[in-house]
Amino acid sequence: MRVFDVAEIVTSARVDPRYYSLEGERHESLCILPSGQQWHVFVSERGVRREEVVFDSEDEACVYFLKRLFQLWRPWARYDNA
């Protein structure tokens, strides 16, 4: 799996793009970034990388990113208090 595959999946699932970043670090979102031969997946909060996990392959990073994103993204949560 590659990052462009992730982009297709999150677009198809209609994930709010404020929850993630595939193209650089963005505050208050889940990010995936290449760094040399490694891939970093982390939650950016107030400029601090939290829950950072480093992978040696793009495939492993993408799979983890999607699992973590779908744990964090809860479109139904806005209806809980209705």
pLDDT per position as a tens digit, 12-30? 999 999 999 999 899 999 9
Report pLDDT for 73.
79
* DSSP 8-class letter at 24: S
Cross-sheet strand order for the sheet of 38-45:
20-21, 29-35, 38-45, 48-55
Residue 59, CA atoms < 13 Å, CB-side half-sphere = 1
Residue 63, φ and ψ in degrees, nearest 5: -65, -45
* Residue 79 pLDDT level (bands cut at 50, 70, 90): very low
Report pLDDT for 1.
96
Report pLDDT for 77.
53
Total-model pTM: 0.87
**What's the CA gap between 66 and 68, in Å, rounded?**
5
